[in-house]
Every structure is written in structure tokens, then in C-alpha cells.
Structure 1
């Protein structure tokens, strides 16, 4: 296991996995709800369930995927083989979500989406959990994990911008249901490239000996649940993932029904992710000076401020909304860098203290929580749409009542801002810092 800085090639190779996770994490949250409501004509509440159910399955599956990866015996290490085993099936299943034939009824079309999304979510669990577990075994350095996450989040931000901006552009360029089909194939290729690049790029990564924790999965989950700092960090991250899920789900609706500007969805995504591409290294550098927890607190406040400003979307010029979204992007960069760098600290401290490696279980629980938050986000946004009397259709140009326009605005802005502010109650109580991590390493 590396005690010093990792080679740049390994950092880049590991970060490449975010091409797959970024595309899958972004595009369904952005495109699937409007695909169901505005192309297939599915009621908002039913569409919210379809988006949520496969991710809810992931919540149950992720801890099991972590335990399986903990016990994987392979010369390439316990995690790396899963980048191929699950990454390529994920790409195929993703393409199928939007590739369904016209089955003649909204119910049959909806069932196709649900089954394919469930298959994709299953494959994603076995890719994402081992992938997130890798940093705790690549290096023992508290600071090196932050540097590793900087590369990962920078690539993640680039992927979100490219996938999030191009997916609606591809759909609109082709038009209709075929536009969604073409978009699905293109994004599937992006996912496949990310999985292959991560597998190839980490071939020279150091792999430490893995000593899986003893006891049943239930026993290990109980131990992980008792880790106070991990529990606080996870709760913060899940609530913020819920906020992010709301905003992702609302982009297309805000662009079409509130801003009413061609290409607004793409512009919103550029404004959201562009600052993150530039400022991710700056957040990491700031974290090195003030600590990860303080950096996480500050970035959360910035994100909440931007979301609050976006509440002016119905009355302010579009430029103000784009600026507010850019401010959200500034905060979002830090809200990815810091918790993802803090997670392996908590898992590694536990492994050092107990002599049992539960990194896979930790990351399985973490990914389950993140998945739950991102799944509940579109579901919550769909509920807000229903409360606002949003009208579904198959042509994509249904006139919406004022109540629906207001619901879209609030679901995109004040609701996520409130969730982020609430999440700080748990983050403020997190205490694991660099000194404690070092003390745990020395004590071991």
C-alpha cells in the first residue's frame, strides 16, 4: 500500500471511473422524469415511483455488493475486476432504458423502463461500491486521499457538464422518442469508456492485503452504524444528495416551463458544472489549510445561497438564474471533494483500530445512502409537481398552470436550499480530523 504520493497516472486512471458514475448519476436524474411525463404521458406521481424504485433496490443491494467485493479473491485485487464485470453490463442496460419499442400502451412502455432501469441500477451497485472503496486501500495518507478525490471530482464535474449538456441537446436535435433512443446509446458509450479507462488506468495501482471483517453482513452493518463520525458524515451527504436530486430533476422543467428559452437546459448545466471544473483544485487547497470539515461546511453554505437565489426565476432576468446556478456549482464542487475524501478516512481508521477491513461495507452503506438521496430527489420533485397540478402529455408542449410553474421554481430552488441547510446540523457534530486519523495510524 502506498504511503507516499500516488503516481499521476494512477490518480488519472482512478478518476476516469467518474466518467461512468457521472454519466449514470446525472442523465437519468435529468432526463428520465421528463421522458416519462412528457413523452410517454405517465402521470407525475407514477413517474416519480419509476425513477425511485430501482434506486431503492440499490439501497438494499449496495451493502451486499460491498461485502462481496471485500471477499473477492483475485490477483488484480478485490475491487478492480468489478470495474469490468459491472461497468460494461451497466452501459448495455442504460442504453436499453430509452431504447424500448412502442409497445402500444403507456403501461407497457413504463414497465420496460422500470425493468431496464432496475437492471442498470443492479450493475451500477457492483461498479460503484468497489470503485468508491479503492482509495482507502490505495494510500494511507490523509492528504493524498484529498488529492485523489480532487482528480476524481474534477473528472466527475467535466462528465456531468458534458453528459448533462449534451444529453438534452442530442434529444432535441433528433427529436421525439428517437431523440431519447439516440441519446441513450451515446451515453451508454460514455459509460463504457469510463469503465474501461478506470480498469486500464489502475492496473499499476498499489493493492494492499485485504483482511475482510468477520461476522455476518448484519453484524458488520451494526458495527458500521455504530461509527459515530461515519454516521454523521453519511447523513449529511445523503440529505445533500436529496437536494442535488431535486435540482437535477428540475433542470428540464425550469428551462422549458419557467425560463422558456431554447437551449436553456444546456446553459443551466454549463453554469452548474463550469465553476466546479475550475474551482475543484481550489477547494482541495483550501481544505488543506482549514481542514476538510470546515471546507465542507463553507461549500455547503455557498451551495445553499445559490439555490436560494434561484428562487427568483419567475421574475428575474434569465441571467440572474444562470448566475445563481453557477454559484450552486461553486458550492457543489466542494460538497463532492470533501465528503469523498473524508469517507476513506473513517473506513481506514476503523480498519486500523479493529484489524478488520470493512471498507467494502462502509462504501456499500455510503453508496446506498447516496443512491437513496439521488433517487428520492426526483421522487420528491415529482411530488411537488403533482401538488402544483403539473399536466403530463405526449407532445412535450402542454401548457402548464401558474401553480405548476411555481412548483417547478420552488422544487428547483428553495426546497434544495432548505435541505442543504438542514444537513449542516449533522456535519457540525463531525469530529474526525487529520490529527485523529494520524493518531489511529500510530496506535495501530
Structure 2
């Protein structure tokens, strides 16, 4: 534990905070890759039914994510505002994760769909209860924007590592642990992920410290929400984050369908133990780590919004290029997907860093401490992006007459391509346009930090 009263954030604490996002990286990448496949290709449900479920559950998240932020901002314990949720929340989250993929054999389509609705909603509630405070903790771990950006880079490294592990080992673990029974393999794999996630979050609780003191009183709940919804920079970054994640989730959610039905891949390894879907996801995650490093370095010299627009342009260009490559061009596809990952990694590290800047800006402008509420947008953005992106192939497959386990028509194959390439590239365009209206440049943030530092030191 860091020494009481110290404002220094050492490497050990940065690692301790960052490893907490290995949990989210494992969970969300696994969902993005396997959730639709589990209920549609293995469970036999209609793709549109699961797509609708993913969208409707976001209506719950639209209420619970900001509410969790409001609650966490007002929590007062001997562990701080946000850290207690990392102590008591991980175990319920782990249990909820396993339940999603533990549907009893023999359920009718109606009951299986009900199981999906109930367990997925419960899991997202548990995820919110942990990850909104986890994000809020980033905002109070240091009063320095530069230090928070550095901590964010550690966080995004572990998030990307989660993607690498799911990409490299996910299909292999499902195949080997299931012994030919994919549904069992999925259940056992998510059980391993749940155990690792609980451990990582408890490590974060034990190794971190909240350094920005909380205000004795806070504004009203409705007042906080009103301030948030009228803060232009927050709206801009939330839109960009949601659409950026949607693009990646749509590709991930349709990847197994693309390789199985469009490419005709039989799941055989093409490099060491990597099959083509595993190589595809691993390339994305390795690119994401590279993007995190590049973004963290460049943000010291360039405006974050300009870098995000550049990252979005890179994603659009590479997704488009991938579409025109031959289906059997394994290594060119892998390289292009790696470059897509660089754009995604830059988007993630910069947007999370910008959310903490926005929280400080709101404190500076209004005197309201609402860090977790502001950063709840990042949690909702990721969850909404995963849901929207996974819903895209669900609805597209349904509209183009996809039939699981059968040889697909040309229309169905085109539907898979639309979900895999056209939509992911298309949604990045409005994200890049939105970022042109981001107003918190480096000069403004420096002024905010200086004034807040003076204000917080005054009582002492």
C-alpha cells in the first residue's frame, strides 16, 4: 500500500490498478466473441432475438450506470469512495458470469431466451457495481492529468492483455476443455475467467489509494445529472467511445460466422495452436497494446482529440482494406487486423484519459465532485458498444436469412460481410465528426489543474 499522505503513484500501484481491467478485458472480449455464438449457433436461438436482448438490456444500463456513479460519488467509508466496491463486488460478478453460460440442457427456445435475459442482466448489474467505481478510482488516484494518463496506459495494457488471452486461448480452451462439447467448453472457460477476474479486482483494492479528498457535501442528484448532460466535451467523448467500441464489437461478434461460413475455415490451426479466429483476435489485441503505448506517448505532445480522429481514420482505412483482401490471405489479413487494433488501442487509452480530464473540468467549473458519474459514461460506452456491435450481426443475419449449421445463401454471406466490415467502418465516421467539437485542449486542462490545486490546498 502507498504511504498515507503521499501523492506519488509508483509503478507497483499503477500495476495494481491496471490489473483490475484485465477482468473487464477478459469478460468483454469473451462476450463479444462467444455470446452470440453460444446462444445462436450452439443454442439454436434466432439471431435477432439475441440482438434484441442485447439492445433492451442497455435500457437497464442507461439507468443503472449513472445511478451507480451517483451512489459511488456519495459513498463515505474508511476505504474511500470507490475502493469498497472492489472488495465486495467481485465475487457476485464472478457468479453471475458463470450463470450466463450454465443454461440447463433441454430448455425450450422460450426458456433459453428467458435464461439469457435474466442472467445477462444480472451480470451487467454486477459489472456496473464494480466497474463504475473502478473507473471513478482512476479520477482520484492523482490530481495530475499526466499521471492519470500514465495510469490509464497501464489499465489499457491489461485490458488489451485480456483480449490477447481470449484471442489466443479462447477457442483452444473451449475445444480442449469441452472435449468436443462446445457448450461445456464455453462454460468451463468462463469459469476460469471468473476466477481470474475476482482475483484481479481484489488486487486492485489492496494496492491502490484515493488521493483527492472528497467534498463534505455534494450537490443534488438531479443537479449532477443536469450538469453532466449539458457538458459538451462529455457528450462528444461518450459518442466517440460508444461508436468506437461498436465497430470493434460488430467485427468480433461476426468473426466466428465470417470464418466459418464465408472463409470456410474448419478450425484447424494455421500457426502453432492458433486457428484463424484466434489469430484474428490476437492480432487485434496485440495492435491494441501497441496503440495504447503509441497513444500514451503522443498525447504528451499532441491534442488528444486530434489523435483520436487520426486513430478513427486508421480503423476505417484498415477495415476497408481487410474487406478487399483475398479470403485465403491469412498473413496480410493478420497484419491489417493488427493495424485496426492500433487504432482501437489509441481510442481506448485516450478516451478514458479524457473522461478523467472532463471530471476535473466539471469540478473546476461547477464545484461538483462527480468523478464516478462522469466516468460511468466510459463503462456504459463499452457495454453499449459491445451490445450494439453484437446486435448488428444478430439483426443482419436474421434479415439476410441466415440458418445456423447450414450452407448459406449469397444473401446470408453478404449479411455476414456487412456486419463484419461495412457497419464497423461506417460507424466510425460520425465518431470522428463528433470529436471535432471537443474543446478541452492542453491549455485549458493546465489551467484547470492549477486552479484546482490551489483550491484544494486552501483549507489546509
TM-score (norm: length of structure 2): 0.90
1:33 and 2:41 equivalent?
Answer: no
Q: Which residue of 2 aligns with 1:349?
A: 361
Partner residue, 2:247:
243
- Quote how far apart the aligned CAs of 1:365 are: 3.4
In the alignment, is residue 211 of structure 1 matched against residue 219 of structure 2? no
2:271 aligned partner? none
Counterpart of 1:22 in structure 2 is 25
Q: Secondary structure of the residue that 2:299 maps to in structure 1? A: helix
Structure 1 position 372 matched with structure 2 position 384: yes
Alignment length (residue pairs) = 438
Show structure 2 runs of 5+ residues with no match: 268-274, 453-460
* Mapped partners of 2:251, 2:260: distance in 1: 14
State yes or no: 1:358 paired with 2:370. Answer: yes
Match of 2:56 in 1: 53
- Partners in 1 of 2:343 and 2:291 — Cα distance? 9
Are the aligned partners of 1:212 and 1:356 in contact in 2 as well (CA < 8 Å)? no
Alignment of 1:51-90 (within 5 A): 51-90=54-93
- Equivalent residue in structure 2 for 1:327, among 324, 328, 339: 339
> Contact 1:220/1:358 (CA < 8 Å) preserved in 2?
yes
Could you tell me whether the CA contact under 8 Å between 2:167 and 2:285 is conserved in 1?
no
SS of equivalent to 1:290: coil
1:2, distance to aligned residue in structure 2 (A): 8.4
The residue that corresponds to 2:422 in the other structure is 414
Alignment CA distance shift 1:213-1:251 (3 Å): farther
Counterpart position of 1:400: 408
Counterpart selection for 1:440 from 448, 454, 458? 448
Q: CA deviation at 1:5?
A: 5.1
Partner of 1:292: 304
Q: 166, 172, 188: which is aligned to 1:182? A: 188
Matched, 1:196 2:202: yes
Distance 1:83 1:365, change over 3 A: same
Any unmatched runs of 5+ in structure 1?
none
* Equivalent residues of 2:7, 2:211 under 8 A apart: no
Q: What is the RMSD of the two structures over their aligned residues, measured on CA atoms?
A: 2.0
Asked if 2 retains the 8 angstrom alpha-carbon contact of 1:390 and 1:404, the reply is yes
CA distance in structure 1 between the partners assigned to 2:341 and 2:449 by the alignment: 35
Does the CA-based 8 Å contact 1:77-1:207 persist in structure 2? no
Which stretch has the larger CA shift, 307-316 or 424-433? 307-316
Residue 193 of structure 1, CA deviation: 2.2
Measure how far apart 1:148 and its partner are.
0.9
Verify the 8 A CA contact 1:274 1:329 in the aligned structure 2.
yes
- SS across alignment from 1:288: coil
